[in-house]
Structure 1
Amino acid sequence: MHRTPPQAGTAASPGGWSWLAFGLAAAILLAIGLIAAGDLGRSRAIEAVNARAEDGTTLAIAVLRGELEKQRALPMILARDPDVRSALSGNSRHALDLKFASIARETRTAVIYLLDVTGLTIAASNWDEPTSFIGNDYAFRDYYLGAILKGSAEQFALGTVSQRPGLYITSRINDGDRLLGVIVAKVEFDRVEADWRALGGQIYVADERGVVLLSTVPEWRFHVEAPLDEDTQKDIRRSLQFGEAPLKPLPLAPDDDLVQSTAPTRGLNVMTRRDVPTTSWHIDMLLPVDQAIRAEQSRLQTLVALVLLLGLMLAAFLLRRRQQAAMRMLAAAQAKAELERRVAERTAELAGSNRKLVEEMAERARAQERLADTREELAKANRLATLGQVTAGVAHEINQPLAALRTYAENARAFVAARDESAAAGALGKVIGLTERIGAITETLRGFARRGNGRLEPVLLSEAVAGALMILDAPLRQAGIAPQVDASPPGLRVLARHVELEQVLVNLLRNAVEAVEAADPRPVPPLLSLGIRDVGEEVAITVADRGPGLDEAALAALFTPFRSSKPRGLGLGLVISHDIVTAFGGTLTASSRPGDGCVFTITLRKASSGSNP
């Protein structure tokens, strides 16, 4: 821009003063714009990072609650386990060590151990490790005292033997009003902390006293948010809850609405705090904000500078034009107004599009989070239901082979007394076969708990039916029932697993025998029948009884866990049978009318004729 300089010794022209005022105003406006853009950039960066921190905190709580709820059910289930009560009664405890070790591996629990009434450990999943808990006295621990007084308790503490921190979840074991002991599950949160690290920033959980229990920064564990009073420190030292941890304050300091950290890295952070439901804990998340502030300030200041420079250039052009002619200045002013209107409309349009895009992204993130939560809850419910079935199912499934085993053992003793060696050897052979069958059943149930059911194979149906009738031979004779059994077509095979198919048949036949015995008056024969029908690609096996039958409500709940019409039934036999048949790719259905008995129908796929069992 060219201007003729004023002559020496003369005052600046009015146009020169105008340009001087214009330059001064431009400098002031640019300074104000940059300062305002910096403040706005700082606020927007903090707001954006804070929104990320809120979302991250929500996800971190969901991960922690998922682990807590999964593990809290374990002590309550084990408190009802007959093997646990047997060990507390003085029976063999090594088998319980092995069982605890297997459950700990399956549920990813750090340690499961059993305390007697004095607080002494008598069985533990880490029985074979150098840091085994067996023989240690934990009566001084608050989780033991809490379980004794309240029935259950939770305490986060540092292990006195393993020196690893974790949450101890306990449940009291009673026999009526008599205390038997306490079952303890120790949960370590290494996997939870690893999942938290994927969210970015630093996350820690503190108890109601402000002591850090969990953290993505290992150095922060057992630090405190604020100095503790002397009495609180003495109480913590007495209980050995955190060992010899110094309980030093966290390396954090407030800085206006932000938090300044000094370790592991120095910088400003946005901090969010939320209470953890079902606990007395709270969770804090810190996200670094320095870089975001600098980036947002730089972006806004660059944008403001460009807009201001454009405006100043336009103003300078308009000022020069104004000096030339009033009409041209008026035209330039109209052009400026039109340009500013279009810029404002475009800016508003872009801002609206940006807000809509941000809202759609946030809604998508929330939908994905809800989907992930729903899937995790369904998986957790399935694992806990399966574990409950397997735990109670072992005793239920082997009772029938045990009854048959006892009968054959008594027969063998009678044959020995009568010096009938051939008959005694035959009875003992059946005893050996039944013990092998019990082992196969327990191995099958253990495999079912691990979701590993093995491959299906062609099973000769006549052998499976004969095996089931052999197991129930004694109960049938004692009940005076001669079952009517259809002959299986020669060579007819179905896709199944031999032992599990026998389990299903034994369970259905046992239920039929009990139903007939409960009938009053005694119905007319046949009291129990077992039918076999070849229906093309499938085989239908029916077990029918002449018992009292079931009403509509009982029939609807027939395959629901822990629902039984028997006074001492667990309500698991038909549930397990239904699951086994479903795993074969078949169906198990029931029909009944009160007074007409029940009919259970198993439908299985037929094996190809060229297959070998």
Structure 2
Amino acid sequence: MPRLLLIVLALVLLIGLDRFARFGAERWALSQLRTDAQAAAELRVSLVRSEIEKQRTLPIVLAQDPDMRAALESRDAARLDALDAKFEQLAIGTRAGAIYLLDNKGVAIAASNYRTATSFVGSNYAFRPYYLRAMAEGSAEHFAFGTVSKRPGLYLTRRLDGPNGPLGVLVVKAEFEAIEADWRRFVEPTFVTDDRAIVLVTSVPEWRFQTTGTIPSEQKAEIRTSLQFGDAELTPLPITVDDAASATIRAKLPADPRGRQFVEATAAVPTTDWMLHVLAPTEAAVNLATAAGRSLALLVGVLGLGAAGFWLLRRQRLLGEQTRQAAMRRDLEERVAARTAELSAANDQLRAEMAERRRARLAMQAMQDDLVQASKLAVLGQIAASVAHEVNQPVAAIRTFAENAELLLARGDTGMVRSNLSTITTLTERIGAITGELRAFARKTPGEVEHVSLRGVIDGAHLLVGHRLREQEIALSVEMAEADIIVVAARVRLEQVFVNLLQNAIEALSGQTDGRIRIDARTEGERVTIIVADNGPGLPPEVMSELFMPFTTTKPKGLGLGLVISNDIIAECGGTFVAENRDGAVFTITLPRAL
């Protein structure tokens, strides 16, 4: 029973939605139609007004033409013929229905249609209201049915005055056949009524001179007597109110005697007492809107009922799953607790591994520093003998000068004693410089970069290996682009690089009589390029590809670590280290320039 009740309620809801949608869609469609019809009415009013205003200016301009006054005064045949031709050309150019000139008795003496069988020339229009009003007031506008042309139009008149009174009246007839033809291209019937509700201009020819209201019989008789609309019966238009609530009307067209529903839009024609009417058919738009609205309502209703049914089904399922959810929640909590314990253990293990890796990294860094220090000590071992010989000579000289000073002092030659002591001081300073450089070179220092004098680094390295250069008669030349160049590097470690390169070059030039080592330094923007080259046999091709690999050496007793350590030192300073053969071994170093 509850299920049957739900089905009945759903059907009632769908039917209610359908009726509401149909009503709302119909009202919306009629509102849109009314808006569109009003816009069309405003546009067509502009067209009618433009045509009237264009024709209004013509009689005003022509009334100033002296030819017309001359023709009225003289009635000369040649002047009248010229005036006929002028009117004909003006009517063609302005698309006026007719242009003609009446004398002061209402007889047409010249007309634009003088060539046609319906020529106005000779016709008397004194009975026409537009003539009577123009003679009385100076100008007039009057819409009427042509008694000769049998075509309706708006007559625009202008009185021409002479020195002795009115000479005649100029008449311009504006016809609206072109406008009516344009309107017939649209589905909306369009017509213009005057202040008596009589149809003057219309896209439905059968409606011309019918009325939208009731005209009193006296007024109707007066209109017929004036022949303003010919013998028209002035019957009411076949238009009735269809639905007062929706403001729709029903009109019967000649092609559809059963009638159709329309919405009406009206707009006043400025500068006239006319009213323009546009009838927009409702059937197509209303049918389309109601079909779309009903479809949308059905869709919304089905979706709403589906959503409600889904919600009810979902609710039943949720009630059934609450118990299972509670059990699953307890199981999940237990699993989470177990997993949390595992993660805590894994986290502790990860912290321990991170601490171990940190210790390993520090140990590796210490080993690297020890390796650099070991390399320096190995180099010191190689140059120890030469340095000892370098120090032995000043020591022997000091002893000699001291003994001489003792003898000279006994003789009382204090001047020579002072000279000997000065020489001894100079020799001790040289010994101190050599031993100081050795101590600085042997000291274990951190690889902290700073602004370093390149000239000072090269001079320090030269001091350590100078004895071997002199011993083997090897020429060392140093060329720098500037007096001194400041680079960013670790001073002692950079000095070790130059000692290693000079030691290698000295050993490569061993036994060669014209040994030369050249050091060139130049700046290139923010970089400094240093070239250390010798004229020895160069590097063997088989070791070039592995030159900076540990334990790669060409020396019988070498460890193969000097160039590896030198490459690491240059890289730590932010530079590059390249080796090549070019008339001997050439090592190119680049370092950042201190700015």
Q: Distance in 1 between matches of 2:54 and 2:101?
A: 19
Give, in angstroms, the shift of residue 221 of structure 1: 0.4
- Is the 8 Å Cα contact of residues 206 and 212 (structure 1) preserved in structure 2? yes
The equivalent residue for 1:32 is 16
Matched residue, 1:83: 67
Map of 1:229 onto structure 2 = 216
Name the amino acid aligned to 2:253: A
Q: CA distance change for structure 1 residues 327 and 146 in 2, over 3 Å: closer, same or farther?
A: farther
Q: Which residue of 2 aligns with 1:379?
A: none
Residue 269 of structure 2 aligns with which residue?
276
CA distance in 2: counterparts of 1:218 and 1:20, whole angstroms: 62
Question: Which ranges of structure 2 fall in alignment gaps of 5 or more residues?
Answer: 323-595
Which residue, 141, 149, 160 being the options, matches 2:147?
160
Alpha-carbon shift at residue 176 of structure 1 (Å):
4.2
**Counterpart amino acid of 1:300?**
G
- Equivalent residue for 2:248, pick from 236, 246, 258: 258
Q: 1:315 matched to which residue of 2?
A: 308
Q: Deviations over 1:437-473 (max 9, x none)?
A: xxxxxxxxxxxxxxxxxxxxxxxxxxxxxxxxxxxxx
Q: Which runs of 5+ in 1 are unaligned?
A: 1-16, 330-613
Structure 1 residue 213 corresponds to structure 2 residue 200: yes
Alpha-carbon RMSD = 1.6
The separation in 2 between residues aligned to 1:197 and 1:191, in whole angstroms, is 10
| Matched position secondary structure for 1:138 | coil
SS in 1 for 2:253: coil
TM (norm. structure 2) is: 0.51
Identify the residue that residue 123 of structure 2 maps to in structure 1: 136
Give me the whole-angstrom Cα distance separating, in 2, the residues matched to 1:128 and 1:191.
22
Helix, strand or coil at the partner of 1:130: coil
Task: Give the deviation of 1:199 after TM superposition.
Answer: 4.5
Shift of 1:20: 1.7
Is 1:64 paired with 2:48? yes
Pick the aligned partner of 2:27 from 43, 51, 58. 43
Q: C-alpha displacement at 1:324, in angstroms?
A: 4.4
Once the two structures are TM-superposed, the CA of residue 85 in structure 1 deviates from its matched residue by 0.6
Residue pair 1:84, 1:96 contacting (<8 A) in 2 also: yes
Secondary structure of the structure 1 residue equivalent to 2:221: helix
Q: Check the 8 A contact 1:168/1:187 in 2, yes or no.
A: yes
Distance 1:82 1:151, change over 3 A: same
**Amino acid across the alignment from 2:301:** L
1:285 aligns with 2:285: no
Distance in 2 (CA, whole Å) between partners of 1:36 and 1:149 is: 63
1:328, CA displacement in angstroms? Answer: 6.2
The structural deviation recorded for 1:314 is: 2.1
**How far apart are 1:18 and its partner, in Å?**
2.5
Task: Report what 1:349 is aligned to.
Answer: none
The one of 298, 301, 305 equivalent to 2:294 is 301
**Could you list the per-position Cα deviations for residues 398-418 of structure 1 after superposition, in whole angstroms to 9, with x for gaps in the alignment?**
xxxxxxxxxxxxxxxxxxxxx
| Alpha-carbon distance in structure 1 between the residues aligned to 2:98 and 2:189 | 28
- Residue identity matched to 1:314: A
Summarize the Cα distance change of 1:199–1:328 in structure 2 as closer, same or farther, 3 Å threshold.
farther
- Tell me, in whole angstroms, the C-alpha distance in 2 between the residues paired with 1:182 and 1:295: 57
Task: Decide which of 114, 118, 123 is 2:105's aligned counterpart.
Answer: 118
Distance 1:195 1:201, change over 3 A: same
2:185 is aligned with 1:195 = no
Q: Deviations over 1:53-79 (max 9, x none)?
A: 011001100100110000001111111
- Secondary structure of the residue that 1:262 maps to in structure 2? strand
> What is the Cα deviation at residue 197 of structure 1?
3.1
Alignment check: 8 A CA contact 1:75 1:171 kept: yes
8 Å CA contact 1:322–1:328 kept in 2: the answer is no
Is the CA contact (8 Å cut-off) linking 1:75 and 1:183 kept in structure 2?
A: yes
- The 1:319/1:160 distance shift into structure 2, 3 A limit, reads same
Q: TM-score, normalised by structure 1?
A: 0.50
How many residue pairs align between the two structures? 314
Amino acid at match of 1:85: R
1:325: how far off?
4.4
CA contact (8 A) 1:56 1:199 kept: no
Tell me the distance in 2 between the aligned counterparts of 1:57 and 1:263.
19
- SS of corresponding position for 2:231: coil
